[in-house]
Amino acid sequence: MLTSVIRFSLTQRLFVLIVAMILMLAGARAWFVIPLDAFPDISPTQVKIILKAPGMTPEEIEAQITVPIETELLGIPNQAILRSTTKYAISDITLDFTEGTDIYWARQQVSERLAAVWDSFPESVSGGVAPMSTPLSEIFMFSLENPNLSLMERRQLLEWEIRPLLRTVAGVADVNILGGHAKSFNINPNPAAMAAAGVSFAALQQAIIDNNHNEGAGKLTIGTDTIIVRAEGRIDDIDELGQLVIKADDAKVYRLSDLADIQIGHLTRYGAVTKDGEETAEALIIALKNANTAQVVTNIKEKLEQISATLPEGSVINTFYDRANLINTAINTISSALFQAVLLVIVLLALFLGNVRAALVVSLSLPLAALMTFLMMDLFNLSANLMSLGGLVIAIGMLVDSSVVVVENMVNLIASKPRLPRLHLIFRATKDVAVPVVSGTIIVMIVFSPLLTLTGLEGKLFTPVAVTIVFAMLSALILSLTVIPVIASYLVNEKAAQEPKAIIKLKAAYLGSLKTAFNHKKPFMLITFGLLIVSLGLFSLVGKTFMPTLDEGDIILQLEKSPSISLDASIAIDKQIQQTLLAKVPEIKQMVARTGADEMGLDPMGLNETDVFLELVPRDEWRFDDKGQLIEAIRNELLNYPGVNFNFTQPIQMRVSEMLTGSIGDVAIKVFGTDIDTLGQLTAQIEQLVSATRGSIDVKMSMIEGSPFINLTLDNELARGFGMSTMEFARYLKSQLEGVMVTEILQGKKRTPVLIANNQSSLSSINELQNQLLVMPDHSLKRLTDVAKLSYKEGPILIEREQGDRFSVITTNVQERDIVSFVEELNTKIAQQIQLPSGYSVSFGGEFENQQRATNNLLLVIPIAIALITLILFTTFGSLAKAGLILANVPFAMMGGIVSLYLSGEYLSVPASVGFIALLGVAVLNGVVMVSYYEQTKHLFSDLLVRVEQGAARRLRPILMTATTAMFGLMPLVFASGPGAEIQKPLAIVVIGGLLTSTITTLYLLPILYYWLEKRR
Amino acid sequence: MMAKYGASLLCLSACLSTSLAQAESIALKTLGNLELSYVQPQKVASYEGSALPALVDRLPGNDYWVSTPENIQQVTFLVGQGQIVTKGQAIVRLTGPEVFHFLAQVDAANSLYLLAKKRYERNKPLLRNGSISTEKWREISQDYFSSHLEYEHMQHFMEMVLSTDEITESLVVSSPVAGIVKLNQLNTPYMADSQLFSLVPAESIRVKVNVPMSQSTSLSAINIDQCHIAIESISAIADGAFVSAWSMPVPQECNLLLGQQATVIPEYQKTVYLLPKNSVFSWQQESQVFTQTAETLTAINIDILGSTPRQYIVASDQDLSKTQVLSQSVAAVKGILLGLGGE
C-alpha cells in the first residue's frame, strides 16, 4: 500500500501539490479560528451549587441545606466526587462528573435535583447552580475609578449599566460585581410606634410585600375596543414607600413612615475591594467553559471602549487583570521557541545535507506539518495553548525525521546512481525507507499514547501535548511519503546529492573511533554499563515533585487575619500592607485587593481573608532578575506585619487549588466522621503523629472548630404568652442584625432591595443587643432580654464534606524520603496508636494520591506500549532478538535523562516523566534507523565487521540529523523563561540529555551488540 | 493558611489556658511595622444608654375626680379630651329635669340645714340648764349634723357650678383645679355618682420607664427627642429584672401627651470612658482593649455599656483615664495572640 501511495504521489505530482496547497490554506485558516488560551481546560465536568443563607451558622446550613442537597445529588449517575464546604451564610457544593460527561446534561441533572429539594429550604435561601465556568474562567477584571462618585454610585454603575452590556458579549458567562455599597432602601422600624399602632413585625413585613405589586386583572371590552385592566400598587420610589398604608381602622391610618424610619442604605457587606489602599468597586468577568478566551477578551475590551464613552465624566476603567496578557506572553514564549526551533533545525539540515535545496525540501516539512496539525486540532476541537503548542515544539525535531530519512536516502541513491531517471530514483529511495519510516513514526506515536491515559490535572495538561505530537507526527509521516518526494523531484538534483566534506570527515573520524571501540569492546562495555549504574544512583539524588508551578506572570498575595475580624478592621490592615508594599516595592504598579466573599459566592472567603492582585511594572524596570526574587522582597516586607498570615499564589493556580480537593501538600490525611469535636480531637492526634514521622515538613491541619457564636434562646413559656414563636423571633433578630429583604423597588432596569433593617451603628455590643426592643405579636413592647436568654457557644467555622461525610484534613510535605514509605509508616502508626471510633475513617490523598494515580496509570500503560513497540520491531525485523537489541538502547537514553536532570537541578516531575516517555520513542527510532540499514545491506557485505562498521558510518548522518534536530528543536525550551517554560523545561532537559547518551550508544554500543548477536548466529 | 491557624489555635487552647488567667501581654518590639496609634480614654461622669420603652403616665393618687350628683339625661362636654384647663374653666353642661330636681334638693338641703342649725343653737342652753333630756339633745344634734353634711356635700358640687339655667334646666360644671382634663365619655346614661371627668395636675404627669436593675441606681435622667427630664424616683420594688423609674414633671415644651408610649434614651450617672470602637476586641467571651505599659501591650477586660456611632461607652475596674489604649492595628495584634503571622 505504501508503494502505491508513493507511486501515486510521484505520478500525480500536480494533483498532490494542489491538494497540499488546499490543506495548507485550511491549516492556516484553522490557526486563526482555533480557540486560543494560556492553558488547556484543566477542569473536570463540574457543576457547582452556591447557596446563600444570610445569618445562618455553618451547622444550621449543613443540616438544612447542604445535607438535603447532597442526599439528592448522590443519586445522579456518572459522578466522580461530591464535596461541599459550608461556611457562615454560604453552602458551596461541587459535583465532579466522570470524564466525558456532557456538561449540559450534568447541569440539567443537578438543576432538577436541586429544584426537587428547594421547597424544604429556609425562606431566605437564595442562589442556585453557578455559572458554567472553570478555574480558568476569570479572564478579565477591572475596577471603576471616579473620585466624584461614591462607592454606592460606582457599584450601581457597574451593576446596572456595565454588567448588562458586558453580559451580551459572546462567551461571557457572567459578570461578578464586588466591593462598594449595594444600594438598598432600609426600613428601620420604631418599636414604640408599632406597639402603639398595634402593628407587629410580621404584619409590617407582610403589608409591604402585599402592597408592592402590579397585578394584571384581565381585559375590559368597551364597545368595539378591548382595554387591559390591571391593579396598580407597585412602589416607584422611597417617598411612595413611606406613604404605604400599613394599617387603617375606623379612625386611624398608619403609614410606613409613621412606624419606621426609611433611609437609603446598603445591603450587609460580605466583602470589599480596595485599590492601593482605598476602597473601590470592581467587576470580574467570567467566561463560559470552552469559550475562545483570547477572542472573548478582545470583544470585552471593545465593548468596554464603547461603554467608557457613556460613563460619567472622570470615570476610568482600570484593568488590573487581563488574561490576554498571559495568553500573549505564553503564546509568544512558545511561538518564539517554535521559531527558534525551526531555525535551528533548518540550519542543522543545511549543515548535514550540505545543500540548500535538500535542506529546503526537508525544512518544508516543518511548516507543512505544523499547518496540518493546526487543521487536525481544529477538527478535534483542541485549543491552542501552552501545552498543545508545547507538544508541537517537542515534536519539531522529530517532525523532520521521516523527511530526513527519505531525503537522505534520496540524495544517496541519486549520488550512487546518477544515470537512472531522477523520478525513478526518488521513488525507489522513498519506497526503500517507507517501512522503517512508518514503523518508526508509529513507534513514536505509541510511545506518547500512555499520556492519553493520564487522568486528573496531569491528564488534562499532558493529553493535549500527546495529541498534538501524534497529530504532528502523523502529518509529518504523510508528508514524507507524499509531498516531500514530489517537492524533492523538483528541487533535489545531482549536486544536492553530494555529501558535504565536513560530513565525510566526520564519518572518517567516527569510523576510526568505532574501530577503536570494537578493538576495546570489553573496557568500552564496562565503562558504558558502569555509567548506567552510576546514573541509577544519581536517580535517588534527583529531587521529586508532582508538577512544576506554572508561572502565570501575575502574583496574588493572600492574607489571612483573625477569623472573627470585622470587615472594617480587615480592610484597615489590608490598607497598611498595601501602602507599605506600594512604597517599598517599586515593581508593583498597583494593587487591587478583594476582602471577603464575592456577591455570587463563587469564592466564599471569610471577612478575614484577602486576595491581593499585584499588577507589576514591565520586567525591564525590575530591580530583580526573576519573579522569585521579587516575591522574596515582598515576603521580607510582609514579615514585618505579625498577626497576619500570608501566602503567594497566582490567579489560575489559586482557582485550580480550589477546584481540586483543596488538599495542597505531598500527603493529605483526611479524617472522616460525624461529630465535630471528635473530628477535631482525632485531627489533632493525627497531626502529632504526622509531625513525629521522619520526613514530614509544613504540617498543617484544617480548623473545623473554634468559632464563637452568641446564642439567643427564646424563653418559650414567656414568649408564647405574647404570641411570639421561635421563627418570628429569628426573623426579628435577623432584621436587627443582617436585615430582612422584603421586596424590591424597580426603577427602570435597576432593582433596589427593600430591607427591614436596624441602623447598624446602634447595635454594637452585647448590652445593646440585650436591651433591643421587640414588638411582640400581641403588640406589646419588650426588650430582647425579657423573652430570650443569651449565651456563648463555640461552633465550627466551616464544615467540609466529601461523598456525604464530614471530614477534616492534615496536610504535609515530605522531605528526604520517598512518599510511599512515608505514607506506609504513617498508616501503621495511625492503626497502632489511634483508636478510631465507630463511623470514623482515615484516607490518604494530596499530591501523593495524584502521584500514585499517575504512577499506576503509567506502570500499566508503559509496559503495554513497550510490548506494542516490540511487536512493531519484531514485525519490522522479523527477530525478537533484534527488537530487544534496539530496546536495549532505552536504558542508556534514560541514563542521559537522569544525568541531565541532576546536573540542571530540575526535579523529577510529571513533565520530566513525559520526557522519559518521549526518549523511549526517539531512542528506539535511532536504533531502527541503524539496524534496518544493517539488515538491508546484508547482501552487500560478506564480512560482518565491515558491514557493521560501514553500515554505522553510512547511517551516521541520518542518526546525527534526527538526534541533533530533536535536541536543538528542544533547546529553545531549555532557555525559555516566559510563562509555560517551567513546565516544558524539565521535559526538554530529559530528552536532550537522553538523546545525547542514546545517540552515543546507538553509534557505538548498538553496532557492537549487533556484531555480537550476528556473530553468534 | 486556615490550616496553619487551626494548628496554632489548638496550641493556643492548650498552652494559653493558663496564661490567659492573667492578662495577655505582647512586647511592642514584636509588632514589626504595624502602624500603632493610641488614644487616652475620655472620662465622663454620665453616659447615654440603650433606648428604653417609656410611658407618659400620671403619678398614682394625684388625680381629681368629679362625679355627677344625680342621674343625668344629657351631658355635654365643653372642652376636648386631654385639654389643659384652668381652675374655674367650664368643663361640662348637665341638662335635664334632674338638674332642676337637684337644684331644688340643694335649696331644700340648705333650708333643712339652716332650720336644724337654728334648733341646735336654741336648744344648746336648754341642755346646759337641764331643761331637755340628753336623749332629746342627741336627736337634735344628729339632725343638725346630718343636714350639715348633706348641705356641704351639695355645696361642694355647687361650688363647681358656674351657672344654672332654669329655662333649659341645665347647669355648667367648672374645673375645680388646673390640670389635664380626662373626660369620662360614656355611651350609657350617667347615673348618680358616675364620674364625669377627672383632672390630672400638670405636676403629676411624668415619664415612667422600666430600667434594668443593674443600671437603675445610676439612672439620672432621660432624653426624649430634644427633651431632657431628670429622674425623680426609682422604685425599690423590682419587676423581674427591671425597676420602674419616674421622671420629674414633664415640661410643657416637651409636647408629651398623657398615655403616649415612647422610646427614651436613659442617661446614667456613672464614671465611664469613651473609647473608639476599633480599639475593642473580643477574647474568650470578654471585651478587651490593649493598654500600653512601658514596652508592652497588655490586654485588659472592659464592660461595654453602650455606644455612639463611633465610640463605645465602657466601664472598667481600672482607671483608664491615664492609660494609652491601642486604637490601630488591634485586629492584627489579636492575630498575634492567635498565633497568626508569617507564610
Partner-chain contact B331 A562, CB within 8 Å: yes
Q: Measured between alpha carbons, how far is A129 from A113 in angstroms, rounded to an integer? A: 11
Partner-chain contact A640 B287, CB within 8 Å: no
Nearest CA in chain A to B342: A645
Alpha helices in chain B (DSSP H): 2-19, 97-128, 134-160, 213-216, 330-337
Q: What is the pLDDT of residues A880-932, one digit of tens each?
A: 888 888 888 888 888 899 999 889 888 887 788 888 888 887 778 788 878 88
Does residue A961 carry a pLDDT above 90?
A: no
Partner-chain contact A771 B277, CB within 8 Å: no
Place of cell 344648746: B124
Question: A794 near B285, Cβ under 8 Å?
Answer: no
Proportion of chain B above pLDDT 70, given as a percent? 92
pTM: 0.78
Question: B267 near A729, Cβ under 8 Å?
Answer: no
Proportion of chain A above pLDDT 70, given as a percent? 97
Closest approach of A564 to chain B, Cα-based (Å): 9
In this prediction the ipTM stands at: 0.76
Q: What is the pLDDT of residues A576-633, one digit of tens each?
A: 999 999 999 999 999 999 998 876 666 778 888 899 999 999 888 999 988 889 999 9
Q: Return the ∠ at Cα A536 (arms to A452 and A528), rounded to 5°.
A: 110
Give B-chain residues touching A558 at CB under 8 angstroms.
1
Does residue A732 carry a pLDDT above 90?
A: no
Q: Which three cell numbers stand for residue A863?
A: 509496559
Give pLDDT, residue A599: 63
Partner-chain contact B307 A762, CB within 8 Å: yes
Closest approach of B333 to chain A, Cα-based (Å): 6
Q: Measured between alpha carbons, how far is A267 from A287 in angstroms, rounded to an integer? A: 27
Give pLDDT, residue A662: 54
| Range A499-553+848-1017: architecture per CATH | Up-down Bundle (1.20)
Q: Measured between alpha carbons, how far is B27 from B294 in angstroms, rounded to an integer? A: 9
Q: Which three cell numbers stand for residue A897?
A: 535523562
Q: Measured between alpha carbons, how far is B58 from A645 in angstroms, rounded to an integer? A: 62
Give pLDDT, residue A611: 92
* Nearby residues of A676 by Cβ (< 8 Å), 6 or more positions away: A59, A704, A705, A795, A796, A799, A806
Partner-chain contact B2 A573, CB within 8 Å: no
Proportion of chain B above pLDDT 90, given as a percent? 32
Partner-chain contact A643 B10, CB within 8 Å: no
Does residue A656 carry a pLDDT above 80?
A: no
Q: Which three cell numbers stand for residue B329?
A: 492595628
Higher pLDDT, A38 or A273: A273
Handedness of CA A729, A735, A738, A743 (dihedral sign): positive
Partner-chain contact A792 B282, CB within 8 Å: no
- Do A44-132 and A555-649 agree at the fold level? yes
- The SS3 of residue A213 is coil
Give pLDDT, residue B262: 80
Instruction: Give the confidence band of A144 by pLDDT, cuts at 50, 70, 90.
Output: very high
Question: A682 near A701, Cβ under 8 Å?
Answer: no
Q: What is the pLDDT of residues A65-93, one digit of tens each?
A: 999 999 999 889 988 889 898 888 889 89
Alpha helices in A243-322 (DSSP H): 256-259, 293-308
Residue A780, classified by CB atoms within 10 Å of its CB into exposed (0-12), middle (13-18) or buried (19+), is middle
Q: Measured between alpha carbons, how far is A234 from A239 in angstroms, rounded to an integer? A: 12
Place of cell 495584634: B333
Does residue A346 carry a pLDDT above 70?
A: yes
Q: Measured between alpha carbons, how far is B337 from A49 in angstroms, rounded to an integer? A: 36
- A183-189 and A260-266 strand pairing: antiparallel
Partner-chain contact B6 A700, CB within 8 Å: yes
Nearest neighbour of B307 by CB, restricted to A563, A644, A764: A764
Give pLDDT, residue A760: 57
Q: Which CATH superfamily is domain A44-132 in?
A: Multidrug efflux transporter AcrB pore domain (3.30.70.1430)
Instruction: Give the confidence band of A296 by pLDDT, cuts at 50, 70, 90.
Output: very high
Q: What is the pLDDT of residues B119-172, one digit of tens each?
A: 999 888 888 888 888 888 899 999 999 999 989 988 888 888 988 888 888 899
Q: What is the pLDDT of residues A661-713, one digit of tens each?
A: 555 667 888 899 988 888 888 988 998 999 889 888 777 777 666 667 888 88
Give pLDDT, residue A175: 92
Does residue A152 carry a pLDDT above 60?
A: yes
Break chain A into its structural domains and give their ranges. 1-33+354-498, 44-132, 499-553+848-1017, 555-649
Give pLDDT, residue A282: 94
Touching check for B4 and chain A: CB below 8 Å?
yes
Across the range B214-243, mean pLDDT stands at 84
Tell me the average pLDDT of chain A: 85
Give pLDDT, residue A491: 85
Nearest to A956 by CA among A514, A324, A478: A514
| Amino acid letter, residue A873 | L
Partner-chain contact A772 B241, CB within 8 Å: no
| Amino acid letter, residue A295 | Q
Give pLDDT, residue B116: 92
Give pLDDT, residue B93: 92
Question: A986 near A906, Cβ under 8 Å?
Answer: yes
Instruction: Give the confidence band of B22 by pLDDT, cuts at 50, 70, 90.
Output: low
1.10.3720.10, 3.40.50.1820, 1.20.1640.10, 1.20.120.420: which CATH number matches A1-33+354-498? 1.20.1640.10
Place of cell 334638693: B105
Give pLDDT, residue A160: 92
Dump strand ranges (E) for A554-678.
Answer: 555-560, 588-596, 609-616, 645-649, 667-673
CA atoms within a 13 Å half-sphere pointing along the CA-CB vector of B18: 3
Nearest neighbour of A196 by CB, restricted to B10, B31, B261: B261
Give pLDDT, residue A774: 81
Q: What is the pLDDT of residues A116-126, one digit of tens each?
A: 999 999 877 88
Nearest neighbour of A643 by CB, restricted to B263, B307, B335: B335
Partner-chain contact B343 A761, CB within 8 Å: no
Closest approach of A602 to chain B, Cα-based (Å): 18
Across the range B6-35, mean pLDDT stands at 62
Closest approach of A763 to chain B, Cα-based (Å): 8
Instruction: Give the confidence band of B13 by pLDDT, cuts at 50, 70, 90.
Output: very low
Q: Which CATH superfamily is domain A555-649 in?
A: Multidrug efflux transporter AcrB pore domain (3.30.70.1430)
Does residue B306 carry a pLDDT above 80?
A: yes
Q: What is the pLDDT of residues B47-94, one digit of tens each?
A: 888 778 788 888 888 888 898 888 888 899 999 988 889 999 999 999
Higher pLDDT, A641 or B236: A641
From residue A627, alpha-carbon distances to A159, A386, A621 in Å are 36, 19, 13
Across the range B225-244, mean pLDDT stands at 84
Q: Which three cell numbers stand for residue A444?
A: 513514536
Give B-chain residues touching A703 at CB under 8 angstroms.
2-3, 5-7, 9
Give A-chain residues touching B340 at CB under 8 angstroms.
560-562, 642-645
Closest approach of A542 to chain B, Cα-based (Å): 27
Instruction: Give the confidence band of B325 by pLDDT, cuts at 50, 70, 90.
Output: very high
Instruction: Give the confidence band of B333 by pLDDT, cuts at 50, 70, 90.
Output: very high
Mutation test of the interface with chain A: which of B5, B214, B305, choosing the one with the most A Cβ atoms within 10 A? B5
Q: Measured between alpha carbons, how far is A872 from A867 in angstroms, rounded to an integer? A: 9
Handedness of CA B309, B315, B319, B324 (dihedral sign): negative
Question: B268 near B215, Cβ under 8 Å?
Answer: yes
Across the range B257-268, mean pLDDT stands at 84
- A183-189 and A750-756 strand pairing: parallel
Query: In chain B, what are the domains?
Result: 2-44+272-337 (2.40.420.20), 52-60+203-269 (2.40.30), 64-200 (no CATH)
Give A-chain residues touching B261 at CB under 8 angstroms.
192, 195-196, 781
